[in-house]
A and B are shown apart, each in its own frame.
Chain A
């Protein structure tokens, strides 16, 4: 993995999800195998791997294979990039944009199921 400036968009998109934040909170205590992260979520393994992939792409975690287990470790330097007031504001806007998009898509799906014919 190359060293580069942290991409705040990717970081905040990764942090916008409560499941991923819970995983990060666990990793603050130290490296953990995927199984230990997946357990408390109750999610299927492929879903957990997708969440981990998002966090790895953002540079928030790194993973390595050790025997038959895959271990995850927090990359604290990436998380530090989110400190500061402007980064905080950015987090608000990223999360807000996520919610707007989810609502717009939900309404579009509703409209498709129940078209308003106006009679």
Chain B
């Protein structure tokens, strides 16, 4: 799997929690809703049909933006070890019928040093497509941190 630094990102973290515990946080809808989006965004109606072709969906209530619906499909599930999904398909591998960001994400959990090596890789479509979506005001609804960064960057721009 080639890594394209212009469209892909990878987060790798050695966590002290066990793979089982992290898997539980990931796959139990009630727990998932607690960490997926930052406060004050509320994540609800989480559907995690954990099998290839299964539905992966949620609704996020974003203050000042309204409701953001996320719809996707699991491509591969290796219990306790690996989750692969995309927003380019809906449940049952049906091509997406709604506006999409265009990504495939791979999360792997590997026991390491009494904890877990957690690696999340997100592969996006071309930079141009993503940038156009951004220009169109396409929001994925998770953007509190990104928005705060933008505020910081905007502050920099006007700073003397």
Residues of A within 8 A of B (CB): 9, 15-16, 21, 24-25, 28-29, 76, 79-80, 82-83, 85-97, 99-105, 107-108, 111
Contact = CB atoms under 8 A, between A and B. Distances in A.
B57 interface: no
Nearest to A60: B152
Contact of B143 (A15, A79, A92, A105): A92
B35 A90 contact: no
A57 to B, nearest CB: 16
Contacts of A29: 159
B78 interface: no
B25 to A, nearest CB: 5
30 contacts: A15-B149, A28-B152, A28-B155, A28-B159, A29-B159, A76-B159, A79-B152, A80-B156, A83-B149, A85-B130, A87-B149, A90-B9, A93-B120, A93-B122, A94-B11, A94-B145, A96-B35, A96-B36, A96-B38, A99-B38, A100-B25, A101-B15, A101-B16, A103-B25, A103-B31, A103-B35, A104-B15, A104-B22, A105-B15, A107-B17
Nearest to A11: B149
B1 to A, nearest CB: 17
Nearest to A29: B159
A83 B159 CA distance: 16
Contact of A108 (B17, B36, B127): B17
Contacts of B22: 100-101, 104
A91 B146 contact: yes
Contact of B155 (A25, A86, A108): A25
B46 to A, nearest CB: 14
A97 to B, nearest CB: 5
Nearest to A9: B11
Contact of A86 (B9, B37, B159): B9
Contacts of A103: 25, 31, 34-35
Interface of B: 6-7, 9, 11-13, 15-18, 21-22, 24-26, 31, 34-38, 118, 120, 122, 124, 127, 130-131, 134, 140, 142-143, 145-146, 148-150, 152-153, 155-156, 159
B58 to A, nearest CB: 13
Given A86-B127, A97-B120, A103-B31, A91 B13 contact: no
Contacts of B145: 15-16, 91-92, 94-95
A46 to B, nearest CB: 22
Contacts of A111: 21
B16 A76 contact: no
